[in-house]
Amino acid sequence: MQRNAAGWGNGLVGVIIFSASLPATRVAVGGFTPLFLTSARAVIAALLGATMLLALRQRRPAIGDLVPLIIVALGVVVGFPLLTALALQHITSAHSIVFIGLLPLATAIFGVIRGGERPSPAFWLFSGIGSLTVAGFALFQSGGGSLTGDLLMLAAILLCGLGYAEGATLSRRLGGWQVISWALVLSLPVMAAIALMSLPSAWSDIGLPAWIGLAYVSVFSMLVGFVFWYRGLALGGIAGVGQLQLLQPFFGLALAGLLLHEPVAPSMLAVTGLVVLCVAGAKRYA
């Protein structure tokens, strides 16, 4: 019971940190190209992760861990950040949250495929209702989007769900922060080369908000959030704790309205209440 509670507590902290990722990315792409933003955030986070690994003298992953770590890197270090940054050139951060509402379901599905979990039918009912509620609400109030942006977000969600499930499974052996740190280190050579090739042509044209956005997604979205998130998934279960992501859109919508002045419907509180009930039901039957 204590282990399960710790998992849900860590997962909630991770979700809160991730909630600001899309608004921060939206701000950052106002000054940086999506390619540079994706590579730069990975490089910064990789250097921080490598420092922690060296300072705390962590053992190297086994040969059998390399393929799962590569999957984690492709999913959450490269795939999700790049595809969302590209998508946010076509859609608002509020509209992108339509797809974030589908992420818990994707994570649960990959938790079954890659993590060997077997949630009950009641869990899938609550997960499905919660996902449809979030996606439907966000779609209704987001003001529409574009086909290109929507397809990019859908691909990002699939890759992210796979990266979450793979990382959580691996965290049971290596530890949560170690998994994301090693995944970042593995991707460092490629991401550093991409960053150098996509350097901004004029640094003086980049405003302070873009720098703040880059700093947030580099330190918090790419590293600190995963320390809590992977630990939460490993302790509390991938499918169950993954349902906490249903709350992420509402944190994100609030931030989008507060920081970016994007329209947010007042009915958010009522829908949030329904989603909380779905998360509680999913937790009960996970």
Which pairs from 268-273 meet CB under 8 Å and 24+ separation? 268/137, 271/133, 271/134, 271/137, 272/247
Instruction: Read off the pLDDT of residues 112-133 as tens digits, 9 standing for 90 and up.
Output: 887 777 888 888 888 888 777 7
Evaluate whether 216 touches 74 at the Cβ level (below 8 Å): no
Q: Which domain covers residue 270, as residue numbers?
A: 2-285
**Stretch among 6-10, 127-131, 262-266 having the lowest mean pLDDT:** 262-266
Mean of pLDDT over the chain: 84
Instruction: Read off the pLDDT of residues 174-187 as tens digits, 9 standing for 90 and up.
Output: 888 899 999 999 99
Confidence of residue 260 (pLDDT cuts 50, 70, 90): low
Question: CA dist 43 to 20, 36, 129, 159, 167, Å?
Answer: 20, 10, 38, 20, 19
Mean pLDDT confidence for 254-271: 66
User: What integer pLDDT is reported at residue 128 of this predicted model?
Assistant: 81
Instruction: Read off the pLDDT of residues 41-73 as tens digits, 9 standing for 90 and up.
Output: 999 999 999 999 999 999 899 999 999 999 999
User: What integer pLDDT is reported at residue 224 of this predicted model?
Assistant: 93
Total domains in the fold of the chain: 1
Evaluate whether 25 touches 213 at the Cβ level (below 8 Å): yes
Identify the DSSP state of 61.
Answer: P
Instruction: Read off the pLDDT of residues 195-233 as tens digits, 9 standing for 90 and up.
Output: 999 999 889 889 999 999 999 999 999 999 989 998 998
User: What integer pLDDT is reported at residue 132 of this predicted model?
Assistant: 79
Write the Ramachandran bin of 127: left for phi over 0, alpha for psi from -120 to 50, otherwise beta: alpha
Residue 137 has pLDDT above 80, yes or no: no
- What is d(CA 164, CA 242) in angstroms, rounded to the nearest whole number? 9
Burial of 237 (0-12, 13-18, 19+ CB in 10 A): buried
User: What integer pLDDT is reported at residue 116 of this predicted model?
Assistant: 77
pTM to 2 decimals? Answer: 0.82
Residue 144 has pLDDT above 60, yes or no: no
Residue 257 has pLDDT above 90, yes or no: no
Confidence of residue 19 (pLDDT cuts 50, 70, 90): confident
